[in-house]
A and B are shown apart, each in its own frame.
Chain A
Amino acid sequence: PDLPILERKNWLIYLLYVRRDYEECKAVIKEQLQESQGLCEYAVYVQALIFRLEGKIQESLELFQTCSILNPRSADNLKQVARSLFLLGKHKAAIEVYNEAAKLDEKDWEISHNLGVCYMYLKHFNKAQDQLNNALELNRHDLTYMMLGKIHLLEGEIDKAIEIYKKAVEFSPENIDLLTSLGLLYLQTGDYQKAFEHLGNVLTYDPGNYKATLAAGSMMQAHGDFDVALSKYKVVASSVPESPPLWNNIGMCFFGKKKYVAAISCLKRANYLAPFDWKILYNLGLVHLTMQQYASAFHFLSAAINFQPKMAELYMLLAVALTNLEDTENAKCSYEQAVALDKCNPLINLNYAVLLYNQGDKQGALSQYQEMERKVTVARESSTPDFDPEKMVEMAQKMGAALQVRESLVWTKPSKESKSKQKAAVSGKSSSQQPLGSNQALGQAMSSAAGYGKTMQLPPGAATPALPKKPPSLPLEPEQEQDSEMSPEENSAPTGDE
């Protein structure tokens, strides 16, 4: 009689495993192990793979260790041991085992790639980059590109990340994840044309893609195509009904279409789902300011400030709310804070100037006005694309006239609606856009900004008597708004709803 061959059923085990017939496969493995008294390496190996598929990584680790005892010269076995360690979160141990494996097999991209990922979790970014580049040289792979891009983003180098993703997309142009990431990065840097191109590609391959839809929708919102954006959102809303960024964007669409009540209810739903998201609170505050519900606006804005204390626009809006709540002292403090935090937004100074003027402090108003002019000049020179507040120009002219500032050469734009100035006192809301929405991609942010202009009325008694040439057109308080960084919002923020 012939001696039993240890490995004689390997073909069957393999066949059953690749057909995902795991139950049958386990039975054969058991039989084979009994027959060979546990010495059949391949049976143990596949059993470990099945355990790992089932999420039992500790068990799979033990079996792979058995394998590497049975066959210590195999790099594969060591690799699997290291991989199980990696999946258990023991990155240092995994690196050691991978190094062992690398000694046995030097030309393996997997080892380099996984070493890179382990280093990334340990925050050794330089080593991680070396390993990943090494892996790319050995064998190019989508996942390696992904990780490399991620490391660049973690280090805050968006340009390098874009380069990496570009190469990756050239290499595999149909990978949705790569395309989405690249599109979002372009969005973040303000290159809308390219962003749109890439996200459009994603949507052709996968029409219901959540991230791409959200990003594309927010770009449309930035250009005022609210209906188109809404129809985009409708596609994903049924598959992702409880996403705070989605409801936030839908709310801002309605806001753009001047359906304020609908906007508030969408935003409040978003806020209910994500109570820690300052952008939703910010938008709620903004909508309530528009609705002239200053108490609620104050409430939402102060909540947003608690979550995001470093944003000048929030303090500005808070000050506007406070002004309307007849708390001028605090409004001034809030404006001071905003001015201190801000670098380039002229609206803050303009609003502050109006407040000071209405308080009768012409000197302070003048200095704020000059500060604003300086910022406007800077903005002109750098030609920021999203700087287009017509209303602001108009308001500034009035302000300038009221303050008798002659050198208004900054204002070249003719104010078309100068007739309607008196009317503007009622509450002329102009084009209001507010794209927002956090995208999940790699925790990054894209920015799209838009101007929002609006005038509000102050109590009529506030107009000061010293109005030189122009007829008294002063009861005004411009307040505009623009915003939108979108933030690193991955849904990684655990939400604790009740």
Chain B
Amino acid sequence: FDRNGPGTSLKLPGTGQGGGPSPAVRPVTQSGRPITGFVRPSTQGGRPSTMEQAIRTPRTALTARPITSASGGYIRPGTASMLTNPDGPFINLSRLNLTKYAQKPKLAKALFEYIFHHENDIKNALDLAALATEHAQFKDWWWKVQIGKCYYRLGLYREAEKQFKSALKQQDMVDTFLYLAKVYLRLDQPVTALNLFKQGLERFPGEVTLICGIARIYEEMNNISSAAEYYKDVLKQDNTHVEAIACIGSNHFYSDQPEIALRFYRRLLQMGVYNCQLFNNLGLCCFYAQQYDMTLSSFERALFLAENEEETADVWYNLGHVAVGIGDLNLAYQCFKLTLVNNNDYAEAYNNLAVLEMRKGHTEQARALLQTASSLAPHMYEPHFNIAILSEKVGDLQRSYTAAQKSEEAFPGHVDTQQLLKHIYYFATLIFDRA
């Protein structure tokens, strides 16, 4: 399989055909992946390349939930839900004679779902499913899908693929398409997954989940313009689709159309979504769309609704931007400080504080803050670039050069970085070095 042709893999960020805003406009999560408008539990913003790196990066940087060593999130201690019999488990799995239950399809399906979803005992579930599909003489697609799910959970992607494909031959189901695409994405074959989704759309024209899947893949591949197209298709079918609205909204926001983004977010508000992030976004859109009457009240509401300190930090950070926008640098300083009080690992806030310190002329503080920012978020180009120009000004070309190189790595198309590198290179080496 072709793994790494440009634009065919999810593992190389920035391989998309562009069409999206650059990191100078839209913030990124890990090198090159722009932040999305909607966080799903399966969102992966870039992948760590080594185990060591995965351990050292913040635990929420790559998925929507804190990372664990294996998918241990699935394992639950079986206590809380045992309402029928508070003294012990409902069924003792090891005592079951799976062969017997596999003979009775009505019982077997319910039992399988219990084992798979409640007990989370994949091995036993797989045993039961294998016996049952044998009993059904391999003619029941449902069992095949379940076996595929078990394989997928166990990490046997190729086997899972076989089961899903054979199930698709028997019966077209949206579910099966989605599972198969999931397998392909796990195998890092987004183009195959796309083709599959398009096949699925031929069978089920206008199926929202399929279109949405296509859009997500395009978004992961950084092909923002195509993603936006498909999200729009989603909205044509289902105009209350929260994910599509949020994604299109954030796209508009980052492509200089805050007014339109504002309309999308207000639509979410009309639909009864009521949380901190939405009001945060509304506040930002209002400010950049010059609707000053709604701005601060939205942010106030967002602060009120914030459920944890990270969210509070986000709101204060954005308030800091508003303060910069009205030119009140003292207020901005306080806002960024409050961001850091609420979330000590907020690299962007460190960077912006450093810029403010620089404006006051406190070079050393600025440098320290920038160092913190760059070690917290090595994927952001701003702190590296700022360190580079700061050092260049005082004449420390060594440090400037290394920082500029990191900046170049984080955002390869950045013109100012390239000019700086060229300048340093010219200035530092070429002219006077004669062998």
> Chain A residues in contact with chain B, CB under 8 A?
13-14, 17-18, 45-46, 49, 52-53, 55, 57-58, 83, 86-89, 91, 110, 114, 121, 143, 239-243, 265, 268-269, 272-273, 275-276, 281, 293, 295-296, 299, 302-307, 491-492, 494-498
A-B contact pairs, 24 of them (CB 8 A): A13-B435, A14-B435, A46-B435, A52-B428, A53-B429, A55-B401, A55-B402, A58-B398, A88-B397, A89-B395, A89-B397, A89-B398, A121-B394, A121-B395, A242-B22, A242-B415, A273-B25, A491-B389, A494-B355, A495-B382, A496-B354, A497-B24, A497-B382, A498-B321
CB pair B389–A299 under 8 Å, yes or no, is: no
CB pair B327–A281 under 8 Å, yes or no, is: yes
A residues near B359, Cβ cutoff 8 Å: 276
> Chain B residues in contact with chain A, CB under 8 A?
22, 24-25, 27, 256, 288, 290, 292, 317, 321, 324-329, 348, 351-352, 354-355, 358-359, 382, 385-386, 389-391, 393-399, 401-402, 405, 414-416, 428-429, 431-433, 435
B residues near A299, Cβ cutoff 8 Å: 290, 292, 326
Identity of the chain B residue whose Cβ is nearest the Cβ of A13 in the assembled complex: B435
B234 to chain A, nearest CB (A): 27
Give the most central of A143, A239, A497: most B CB within 10 Å: A497
Whole-angstrom CA separation of A46 from B358 in the bound complex: 39
Of A87, A307, A494, which is within 8 A of B385 by CB?
A494
CB pair B326–A303 under 8 Å, yes or no, is: yes
Give the most central of A83, A121, A242: most B CB within 10 Å: A242
B residues near A52, Cβ cutoff 8 Å: 428-429, 433
B residues near A272, Cβ cutoff 8 Å: 25, 256, 288
CB pair A304–B327 under 8 Å, yes or no, is: yes
Of B326, B352, B391, B398, which is within 8 A of A496 by CB?
B352
B residues near A83, Cβ cutoff 8 Å: 432
Whole-angstrom CA separation of A281 from B290 in the bound complex: 13
B residues near A91, Cβ cutoff 8 Å: 395
A residues near B435, Cβ cutoff 8 Å: 13-14, 17-18, 45-46, 49
A residues near B22, Cβ cutoff 8 Å: 241-242
Identity of the chain A residue whose Cβ is nearest the Cβ of B390 in the assembled complex: A494
A406 to chain B, nearest CB (A): 45
Whole-angstrom CA separation of A24 from B182 in the bound complex: 48
A224 to chain B, nearest CB (A): 27
Of B27, B386, B394, which is within 8 A of A498 by CB?
B27
A residues near B324, Cβ cutoff 8 Å: 275-276
A494 to chain B, nearest CB (A): 4
CB pair B389–A492 under 8 Å, yes or no, is: yes
Give the most central of B317, B321, B358, B435: most A CB within 10 Å: B435
Q: Which 10 A-B pairs have the closest CB atoms?
A: A306-B327, A89-B396, A303-B327, A494-B386, A496-B352, A496-B355, A57-B398, A242-B24, A55-B401, A121-B395
Whole-angstrom CA separation of A49 from B428 in the bound complex: 11
CB pair A110–B432 under 8 Å, yes or no, is: yes
Identity of the chain A residue whose Cβ is nearest the Cβ of B424 in the assembled complex: A55
CB pair A296–B290 under 8 Å, yes or no, is: yes
Task: Using known A-B contacts A89-B394, A242-B24, A494-B355, determine if residue A306 contacts B382 with beta carbons closer than 8 Å.
Answer: no
Whole-angstrom CA separation of A272 from B324 in the bound complex: 11
B residues near A275, Cβ cutoff 8 Å: 321, 324-325
Identity of the chain B residue whose Cβ is nearest the Cβ of A306 in the assembled complex: B327
CB pair A306–B329 under 8 Å, yes or no, is: yes
Whole-angstrom CA separation of A295 from B295 in the bound complex: 14
CB pair A55–B327 under 8 Å, yes or no, is: no
CB pair A306–B432 under 8 Å, yes or no, is: no
B residues near A276, Cβ cutoff 8 Å: 324, 355, 359
B residues near A18, Cβ cutoff 8 Å: 435
A residues near B290, Cβ cutoff 8 Å: 293, 296, 299
Of A86, A87, A121, A494, which is within 8 A of B389 by CB?
A494
A interface majority secondary structure:
helix
CB pair B326–A492 under 8 Å, yes or no, is: no
Whole-angstrom CA separation of A276 from B328 in the bound complex: 11
Whole-angstrom CA separation of A17 from B22 in the bound complex: 38
Task: Using known A-B contacts A88-B396, A268-B256, A498-B348, determine if residue A302 contacts B327 with beta carbons closer than 8 Å.
Answer: yes
CB pair A240–B385 under 8 Å, yes or no, is: no
A residues near B288, Cβ cutoff 8 Å: 268, 272
B74 to chain A, nearest CB (A): 35
CB pair B325–A303 under 8 Å, yes or no, is: yes
Identity of the chain B residue whose Cβ is nearest the Cβ of A48 in the assembled complex: B433
Whole-angstrom CA separation of A423 from B234 in the bound complex: 52
Identity of the chain A residue whose Cβ is nearest the Cβ of B321 in the assembled complex: A498
CB pair A55–B395 under 8 Å, yes or no, is: no
Whole-angstrom CA separation of A265 from B351 in the bound complex: 27
B residues near A49, Cβ cutoff 8 Å: 433, 435
A384 to chain B, nearest CB (A): 30
Whole-angstrom CA separation of A86 from B400 in the bound complex: 13
A144 to chain B, nearest CB (A): 11
Task: Using known A-B contacts A89-B391, A303-B325, A303-B327, determine if residue A495 contacts B415 with beta carbons closer than 8 Å.
Answer: no
Of A87, A295, A305, which is within 8 A of B397 by CB?
A87
Whole-angstrom CA separation of A293 from B348 in the bound complex: 33
B2 to chain A, nearest CB (A): 31
Identity of the chain A residue whose Cβ is nearest the Cβ of B293 in the assembled complex: A295
CB pair A494–B358 under 8 Å, yes or no, is: yes
Of B256, B321, B391, B397, which is within 8 A of A57 by CB?
B397
Whole-angstrom CA separation of A433 from B20 in the bound complex: 33
Known: A268-B288, A272-B256, A495-B355. 14 other contacts (CB 8 A): A57-B398, A86-B395, A87-B428, A114-B432, A243-B415, A275-B321, A276-B359, A295-B292, A302-B326, A303-B326, A491-B416, A494-B354, A494-B385, A496-B351
B residues near A296, Cβ cutoff 8 Å: 290, 292
Whole-angstrom CA separation of A296 from B291 in the bound complex: 9
A residues near B398, Cβ cutoff 8 Å: 55, 57-58, 87-89
Whole-angstrom CA separation of A217 from B235 in the bound complex: 44
A residues near B24, Cβ cutoff 8 Å: 242, 273, 497
A136 to chain B, nearest CB (A): 16
A260 to chain B, nearest CB (A): 14
Identity of the chain B residue whose Cβ is nearest the Cβ of A281 in the assembled complex: B327
A residues near B390, Cβ cutoff 8 Å: 494
B343 to chain A, nearest CB (A): 15
A98 to chain B, nearest CB (A): 12
B residues near A242, Cβ cutoff 8 Å: 22, 24-25, 414-415
B residues near A240, Cβ cutoff 8 Å: 415
B residues near A305, Cβ cutoff 8 Å: 327
B residues near A497, Cβ cutoff 8 Å: 24-25, 27, 382
Whole-angstrom CA separation of A331 from B340 in the bound complex: 39
Whole-angstrom CA separation of A87 from B352 in the bound complex: 28
B413 to chain A, nearest CB (A): 9
B residues near A306, Cβ cutoff 8 Å: 326-329
Whole-angstrom CA separation of A110 from B288 in the bound complex: 53
B residues near A281, Cβ cutoff 8 Å: 327
Identity of the chain B residue whose Cβ is nearest the Cβ of A269 in the assembled complex: B256
Identity of the chain B residue whose Cβ is nearest the Cβ of A84 in the assembled complex: B398
Whole-angstrom CA separation of A279 from B360 in the bound complex: 19
B236 to chain A, nearest CB (A): 27
B residues near A239, Cβ cutoff 8 Å: 415
Whole-angstrom CA separation of A125 from B143 in the bound complex: 84
Identity of the chain B residue whose Cβ is nearest the Cβ of A56 in the assembled complex: B398
B72 to chain A, nearest CB (A): 34
Whole-angstrom CA separation of A492 from B388 in the bound complex: 10
Whole-angstrom CA separation of A86 from B415 in the bound complex: 26
Identity of the chain A residue whose Cβ is nearest the Cβ of B398 in the assembled complex: A57
Whole-angstrom CA separation of A491 from B325 in the bound complex: 19
A272 to chain B, nearest CB (A): 7
Give the most central of A14, A114, A273, A498: most B CB within 10 Å: A498
